[in-house]
Chains A and B, each alone.
Chain A
Amino acid sequence: MQTVELIPVPDSDIPFLLPLFSCSVPAGFPSPASDEIEEMFDLNRLLLRHPDATYLVRVMGESMAGAEIHEGDLLAVDKQMEADHNHIVVAVIDGECTVKRLWCEDGAWWLKPENPAFKPWQIHDAGDVQIWGVVTHVLHELIPGKMGALLRTRD
């Protein structure tokens, strides 16, 4: 009787659905592919491991520029995941939230920025730092659009 497996219920968020086509689309001319729509997929479910435990935060500053995380980007932060070596995490130091890479070297743990202009911070006492969540995705706008516009209106 111990073999029953509970299947997690899918997230009830309003899904953002994109059609997935099962035929290849020849370049040059649009194919009347609308008859071939196979399924709709939800970007949230495709990308996020735990949609209900994921929070979006906005990046300020360029301390993580080396990891392709820039000012104004959105980060998906998973609170359910256990943070580990080499994860990029949101950590709380002195009551402030910061995004850094969690790094273990010779038994010592560090919060490392990815920008030579910033200094790494060694975790001496586990009580000094609190891991708020693990960053799973970066949302970076390559073509100026709504995200950037939203940011500009705030400044």
Chain B
Amino acid sequence: MFGLLDINNFYCNCESVFQPRLQGKPVVVLSNNDGCIISRSAEAKVLGLQMGDPYFQVKELLERHQVHVFSSNYPLYGDMSRRVMYCLAQNAPEVEIYSIDEAFMDLHGMERYLGSLDTFARNLRAKVLKRTGLPNCVGVAPTKTLAKLANRLAKKQPEHGGVVFLDTDERRRWALEQVAVEDVWGVGRQYAAKLTAAGIYSAAELAACSDSFARKHLGGVVGARLVRELQGYPCHGLAPSEDGSLRRQSICCSRSFGQALTSFDDVLGAVATFLSRGAEKLRRQADAAHMLTVFVSKSRYGLEPPPYTFSAVVTLPRATNDTGELLTQARAVLAAIWQPGRYVKAGIVLDGLEPAGQVQLSLFCAEPPSEKRSLIMAEMDALNRRFGKNTVRLATAIPAPGLAVAPWAAKASWRSPAYTTQLSDLLQVR
């Protein structure tokens, strides 16, 4: 049996734990740079606000209904997520952190110890709620796909008390009947359209498909596994969590700017900032990158015709994780794709990762990687860990003197305090 615990409206509920006056009120959280809605409280959903609605489009509606609007506060959400996952790790034998607000649990053979898994799920749900104040739902089923489906039903149908347990074949069939095919985990928009065109509307109908049909129309073995999982035969185990054992294959760091930028130096500053972040992640997993991509985007809403995004890739003379070395390359790449205009976004991608220290030297590369440089990088990371982000950084990534905020800094006009990670931001009680 697999369990899936998922926090309801995670970002909104993190806000209302520390601001109880928000309970029962419409609340929305906006994406990075205050772009669009990424979390809605139940009361905000009732108003017809949708995931992904751009802020500027629904601004009037938000104001009319006095919806509480927040910029995303990732330090807070990250810490609350850590507390949830810690609680799960203490109670379940094995946990796969699937995203910031949901985790799979492997409960195979645990009936012997835990007794009824239904009771276990209900207790776990109550524990997470008590320790974090975050309401959540649990689905328990023979496969991960069914656990996800059960979790969905637990959320949509409050009469189950937040837990749906698909222990028998009747229960499994009942659950499959309730869910539309496009809401099955692993069925994207394109497959959903294909399936409805073939007369398959519900998860139950999908589960009744033949193996050959699934292989032919749902991407080969992936589709066949999906159908088998719906039939109750587990095909997926727990994947290793992001505790360092799951290494990234490539690292991307991109953000949209709080305001449009026109000068090369400002855009380069943004690129240098994102690159520093990327290189830091690279060093954290002890890798070096072979390829560097730099991209910049202009506003789509100006007078200029497309294209709006420009990018270029360089293969580095040798794999590196040195921020300075990478920046030299990035500067050259940016200069090559640069043209005047109003830029709204930039980003970098580090690809072709290999373990640092096993670098293959190039025939045409003058000097071998210097040990001193890697010491500097290690020192820089240590200082930034100890004294906070950006304590030490490359000069290119520092805004021009006299500017308090970097011109490329994203908008976050309504960010709540970092209640659990900053001493200066703690919740205040009278």
Contacts and interface: CB of A to CB of B under 8 A. Distances in A.
A102 interface: no
A154 B83 contact: no
A57 B424 CA distance: 10
Contacts of A95: 19-23
Given A55-B420, A57-B428, 8 more contacts: A8-B90, A53-B130, A56-B426, A58-B426, A63-B430, A74-B426, A79-B133, A97-B427
B335 interface: no
A61 B430 CA distance: 6
A133 B421 CA distance: 18
Contacts of A94: 21
B87 interface: yes
A57 B427 contact: yes
A98 B89 CA distance: 32
Bin chain B's interface residue count. Answer: 20 to 34
Contact of A12 (B23, B86, B87): B86
A98 B429 contact: yes
A52 B113 CA distance: 24
A96 B21 CA distance: 6
Contacts of B133: 79, 132
Contacts of A130: 20
B131 interface: yes
A9 B90 contact: yes
A93 to B, nearest CB: 9
B89 A75 contact: no
Contact of A60 (B130, B132, B428): B428
B132 A57 contact: no
A65 B19 CA distance: 25
Nearest to A98: B430
Interface in A76-124: 79-80, 90, 92, 94-99
Interface string A1-34: 1101010110110000000000000000000000
Interface of B: 19-23, 83, 86-87, 89-91, 112-113, 130-133, 419-420, 423-424, 426-430
Q: Is the interface of A mostly helix, strand, loop or mixed?
A: mixed
* Closest A-B pairs by Cβ, 7 of them: A95-B21, A53-B131, A92-B20, A58-B426, A57-B427, A52-B86, A97-B429
A10 B430 CA distance: 32
A150 B423 contact: yes
Contact of B428 (A50, A58, A92, A153): A58
Contacts of A8: 90
Contact of A53 (B19, B20, B83): B83
Nearest to B426: A58
Contacts of B423: 56, 147, 150
A59 B429 contact: yes
B131 A80 contact: yes
A1 B91 CA distance: 18
Most chain B CB within a 10 A radius of its CB, from A55, A79, A153: A55
B424 A97 contact: no
Contacts of B21: 94-96
B83 A58 contact: no
A75 B21 CA distance: 21
Nearest to B20: A92
A150 B430 CA distance: 19
29 contacts: A6-B91, A9-B89, A11-B86, A12-B86, A52-B86, A53-B83, A53-B87, A55-B419, A57-B426, A57-B429, A58-B427, A60-B428, A60-B429, A75-B429, A79-B130, A79-B131, A79-B132, A95-B19, A96-B20, A96-B21, A97-B427, A97-B428, A97-B429, A97-B430, A98-B430, A132-B20, A147-B423, A150-B423, A154-B424
Contacts of B426: 56-58, 74
Contacts of A132: 20, 133
Interface string A39-53: 000000000001011
Contact of A50 (B20, B23, B131, B429): B131
Contacts of B83: 52-53
Given A4-B113, A55-B420, A95-B23, A80 B130 contact: yes
Most chain B CB within a 10 A radius of its CB, from A11, A75, A80, A95: A95
Contacts of A74: 426
A90 B20 CA distance: 12
Contacts of A96: 20-21, 430
Nearest to A118: B430
A97 B18 CA distance: 9
A58 B429 contact: yes
Contacts of A99: 429-430
A24 B25 CA distance: 59
Most chain B CB within a 10 A radius of its CB, from A1, A2, A63, A132: A132
Contacts of A153: 424
Nearest to A82: B130
